[in-house]
Amino acid sequence: MVVVMKERATEAQIDAVIARLVESGMDVHRSSGATRTVLGVVGTGKVDKGLIEILDGVHEVIRITEPYKLAGRTFKGDDTVVIVDDVRVGGDEVIVMAGPCSAENEAQVMASAAAVKRAGAKVLRGGAFKPRSSPYSFQGLGEEGLRLLRSAANTHNLKLISEVMDISQIDLIAKYADIFQVGARNMQNFTLLRELGHARKPVLLKRGLSATIEEWLMSAEYILSGGNKDVILCERGIRTFETATRNTFDISAIAVVKKLSHLPIVADPSHGAGRRDMVAQLARAAVAAGADGLIIEVHDNPDRALSDGAQSLFPAQFDRLMAELRIIAPAIGRSICLEPVARRGWAR
Ligand code: PEP
Ligand code: MN
């Protein structure tokens, strides 16, 4: 960090700041100009920026390294690829995860899984434990939902991602799902994040409703520092003053995360838009912006869905979107599942 002293800081004040920094285990390099003194501070000691800022004579303290270490590019320059058997998130292929918001019943889960597989998704999404804003809304089927999702994923050769809301659910969800999803509302549930740091399965960490990118990366740091290196970030829209969409989909977060972190990032245009007539536009933009994957809500009968029906795509809409993404991805050197094309040709 750099400590900039006030113009009229006295020698005694400068000495006191230096002494405090040295006491904290830091090396201090002093540079005194005509009007101001600037202190360059390096080392491995622990310094509380706020405690230095309030010392007498200090004008400003500027941090020059990021507070997250394991999640940052300084720590690891190469992109992380999260591997789930034959599915690689963060490689050349854009991975699409799709399925209903919640598992509701066997027929719905099976039909939705069949539809997303046919269109080229690699991972089935679906919640069994739902973080609903109202306690009176459908809360999910619990273990029965996980059972239905796993069985549909197996039938259609898909991997499975499902949300974990609490540490008490980790072992149960690990029995069924391949990837844990941490929802936006739990991005700063540090007890949960710490525990997932010891889990042996990848974690998709959604950005909190009002979280800055730095706070989001610090949450990833909780998981990484526990020893779990397989973290996938997910931009799902943030809360702003705008009310036309459910959330404001922060497309620039994709570019920022790619610059700051080696972790893969996927985009969730469904929660970003909140309405199905805008999901495709955001999905296309996310892939063009460099997202490593997408997570999209698709339901076999969205108008009857028990959660997030308005933003869930009909299978035919999802199929069309996948065809469009197959044209966009190569423009930026990426690929996207070509199996449906191989099966039926480009023209349908
Ligand atoms: C979901 O994926 O259905 C969900 C609840 O998402 P979020 O945590 O982003 O609101
Ligand atoms: Mn949802």
Residue 88 Cα to ligand 1 midpoint, Å, equals: 22
Residue to mutate, 101, 133, 134, 279, ligand 1, most ligand atoms under 8 Å from C-beta: 101
Q: Whose CA is nearest to atom 6 of ligand 1?
A: 183
Sign of the four-CA dihedral 330, 336, 342, 347: negative
The pTM for the full model equals 0.92
DSSP SS3 for 211 = coil
Q: Is the CB of 101 under 6 A from ligand 1?
A: yes
Determine the 3-state secondary structure of 12 from DSSP: helix
Per-residue model confidence as pLDDT tens for the chain (348 residues) = 999 999 999 999 999 999 999 999 999 999 999 899 999 998 888 899 999 999 999 999 999 888 899 999 999 999 999 999 999 999 999 999 999 999 999 999 999 999 999 999 999 999 999 999 999 999 999 999 999 999 999 999 999 999 999 999 999 999 999 999 999 999 999 999 999 999 999 999 999 999 999 999 999 999 999 999 999 999 999 999 999 999 999 999 999 999 999 999 999 999 999 999 999 999 999 999 999 999 999 999 999 999 999 999 999 999 999 999 999 999 999 999 888 888 887 655
Structure tokens belonging to residue 241: 């003053």
- Spatial separation of the C-alpha atoms in residues 151 and 256, rounded to whole Å: 37
User: Is 127's C-beta closer than 6 angstroms to any atom of ligand 1?
Assistant: yes
Q: Is the shortest distance between the CB of 271 and ligand 1 below 6 Å? A: yes
- Written as one letter, the residue type at 79 is D
The span from the CA of 146 to the CA of 140, in Å, is 10
Joined together, the tokens standing for residue 53 give 């800022």
Residues β-bridged to residue 127: 102
Asked if 271 and 311 count as a contact pair (C-beta separation under 8 A), the reply is: yes
Ligand 2 centroid from CA 311, angstroms: 8
Residue for token digits 């109202």?
A: 134
Determine which residue's CA is closest to atom 8 belonging to ligand 1: 183
Residue 347 pLDDT: 59
CA of 216 to the centre of ligand 1 (A): 15
pLDDT at 173: 98
Which residue's CA lies nearest to atom 10 of ligand 1?
Answer: 184
- Give me ligand 2 centre to Cα 101, in Å: 4
Q: Quote the CA–CA distance of 328 and 306 in Å, as a whole number.
A: 33
The pLDDT assigned to 179 comes to 98
Query: Ligand 2 mean position to 126 CA, how many Å?
Result: 8
Which ligand is the nearest neighbour of the Cα of 126? 1
Q: Calculate how far, in angstroms, residue 271's C-alpha sits from the geometric centre of ligand 2.
A: 7
Other CB atoms within a 10 A radius of the CB of residue 256 amount to 15
**Residue 111 backbone class (left: φ over 0; alpha: ψ -120 to 50; beta: rest):** alpha
Best CA proximity match to 26, nearest among 11, 38, 40: 40
For 247, the 3-state DSSP assignment is coil
> Looking at residue 44, what is its pLDDT?
86
Closest C-alpha to ligand 1, atom 1:
101
